[in-house]
Chain A
């Protein structure tokens, strides 16, 4: 079974530039999560999708972050414009709804200079 795929693995940009991350979940997983993990902290939920609908985006900074999951499969997370404090690892995870086990991608490490 192929895992959760994320790209790019690493990205370095200057503040005020834009960046996009891509996630392809495990086939058949209806629930998809984007998390932000700042060094030394636990992951923080940015957005949760159920198929192509948004379940929870209460912690997504909507003035600069956007995410979509067209067709209920892969997803993109965009930051525009980036700030220094956006430097973090962006993790994508997926699961079957209500069955529990989570599968995480390797993450995309963003450095904003």
Chain B
């Protein structure tokens, strides 16, 4: 079993839909990162969480430390949100373990 599990692996939505991507982990962490990767490889950091909830524009990230679970929500999805979303957990010594990613496709 991987230390970081994401679901779903693939997600297709219509423009405007509310999207949720989930991340579960099995180790104690100091922080959790949500990252966005567009075709061509560039990765952008969206959020870093250690507790609670953060919001940036149409993106919301939540984390439940007791349940070892985090969610990334996208409100009013748009085709430009199409990308791979990656969850990564940070453990002692700033060591990062990545999930396999969720491929999101938003159709117009």
Contacts and interface: CB of A to CB of B under 8 A. Distances in A.
A63 to B, nearest CB: 23
Contacts of B33: 100, 102
Q: Interface residue tally of chain B, by bracket?
A: 20 to 34
Contacts of A104: 35, 42-45
A56 B95 contact: yes
Contacts, number: 61
Given A42-B86, A102-B33, A48 B98 contact: no
Given A41-B100, A100-B48, A102-B35, A91 B43 contact: yes
Nearest to A37: B41
Contact of B94 (A44, A98, A103, A106): A98
Interface in A32-72: 33, 35, 37, 41-45, 48, 50, 55-56
Nearest to B43: A104
Nearest to A31: B94
Nearest to A3: B42
Given A91-B41, A100-B33, A104-B45, 4 more contacts: A44-B98, A55-B93, A102-B33, A103-B45
A56 B93 CA distance: 9
Contacts of B88: 42
B96 interface: yes
A73 to B, nearest CB: 18
Given A44-B98, A98-B94, A107 B41 contact: yes
Interface string A77-111: 00000000000010101010110111110110100
